Amino acid sequence: DIEEIVSVGTDRATILARVNALKPKGKTPLTDGVRFAAQKLRYTEGKATVILVSDGAESCNKDPCALARELEAAGVDFTVHVVGFALESETEAAGLRCLAEATGGRYFAARDAQQLSAALIATVAAPLPTPPVAARNARGCPHPRSTSADAHRCGRPRRRPPSPARTATAATSVCPSLP
């Protein structure tokens, strides 16, 4: 099951209380969880950022990289920042890393509570990668991931870190039933 534990726009104190009360168990349906969060944020209508914290790789036979490409293509300005917490191998991190990179987000590895806290703080203020100068289209406009001042001139808003009001939190624990 994938469950929304707080609504978009919920105050920080409530979010922290609910997250601290979580007792995760079971599978890791992170692909479906990210899709669920993106839909809750109405990612096709406006800027949407998901911050995913996972202690394992996708375990429900889904492809997080394919989902990332799909959401990035369909979203107005969709980003996933990922924190891989206490992962056992680089293999586990690969799908999580791809999810972040394919949406222009950042991947953070955390081995303990202190690193987890630092990673979560960094996700809220995560600077987006600036593309090389050569990454311009025929009109001279910057690549869509640009944070440069001329991005606005080319019809795209400047990218900013996510605000708490536009960041969703979802808890996942059991793979949804397959059709």
Strand partners, 167: 49
Dihedral sign of CA atoms 55, 176, 31, 10 in order = negative
Strand partners, 168: 50
What are the angstrom distances between the C-alpha of 172 and each of 42, 86, 176?
19, 17, 10
pLDDT in tens, the chain (179 residues): 788 888 888 788 888 898 888 887 778 889 999 999 999 999 999 889 999 999 888 888 999 999 999 998 898 889 999 999 999 899 889 989 999 999 999 999 999 999 998 998 888 875 554 444 444 444 455 545 444 444 444 444 444 444 444 444 444 444 554 44
Whole-structure pTM value = 0.68
Q: What is the DSSP letter of 64?
A: H
Neighbours of 145 (CB within 10 A): 18
Helix axes 30-40, 64-74, angle to 10 degrees: 20
Q: Residue 59 is which amino acid?
A: S
What is the distance between the alpha carbons of residues 62 and 45, in angstroms, rounded to a whole number? 25
* Per-residue pLDDT tens digits for 44-91: 998 899 999 998 888 889 999 999 999 988 988 899 999 999 998 998
